[in-house]
Amino acid sequence: MKLTKILGVVAVAAMALMAFASTASATTLEVGGVAKNEAVTIKASLKENSALLTDTNNISANTCTTSTVEGKTSTFTGAAVEGPISALSWSNCTQGNPTVDAKGSLSVTNISGTTNGTVRSTGANVTVPSFFGNLTCTTSNTDLGTLNGKKEGSATMTINAVLSCTVIGTARWSGTYTVTSPSGLGVGA
């Protein structure tokens, strides 16, 4: 009789675990509303506004009017879709152009109920000339902002991140990037 009760408890626990697992969602990139089951190369460039780096008191450290980022996902579905950055640059900057010491990687996680995703960076290391001197800014699972998905046309990445930077401690990086490829990029669950 005890064995029957134990088996019944185990069966109920197993069913509950399976129900939980079936409700958990994975992140998958979409192109034109179609979920991808392969790596996706993403290219983005700074929109007409500027990328701005300020200290936490909102004092401008450096402003750039040109910036690009490119990477290819190494996973196509999971808790997050991620991959290494292959190109990262800033130019036309007020205090001099930043030097990319390490590009790091990006990950995107679906924001429930939308085709948007939270973008995170790990392992980036950039030396930024600034009013305060050279700042070395790094990322470690840093929330950069939001990938605003679109079924048609160009998605955007809205950057509003707090970076760890030498000399001033932390700095805020803001700007908006247009995803130039692929067209119709979205983040599904």
Rounded Cα–Cα distance for residues 98 and 90 (Å) = 6
The pLDDT score that the predictor gives to residue 48 is: 78
* 3-class DSSP assignment, residue 84: strand
The reported pTM is 0.84
Other Cβ atoms closer than 10 A to 29: 28
Strands (E), 139-168: 142-148, 156-165
Return left, alpha or beta for 13; rule: phi > 0 is left, psi -120 to 50 is alpha, else beta: alpha
The pLDDT score that the predictor gives to residue 58 is: 85
The pLDDT score that the predictor gives to residue 70 is: 98
Say if CB 9 and CB 165 are below 8 A apart: no
Identify the H or E element spanning 8: helix 2-23
Q: What is the pLDDT along the chain (189 residues), one digit of tens a residue?
A: 433 333 333 333 333 333 333 334 799 999 999 999 999 999 999 997 789 999 888 889 999 999 999 999 998 899 999 999 999 999 999 999 999 999 999 999 999 999 999 999 999 999 999 989 999 999 999 999 999 999 999 999 999 999 999 999 999 999 999 999 999 999 999
The pLDDT score that the predictor gives to residue 49 is: 78
The pLDDT score that the predictor gives to residue 9 is: 34
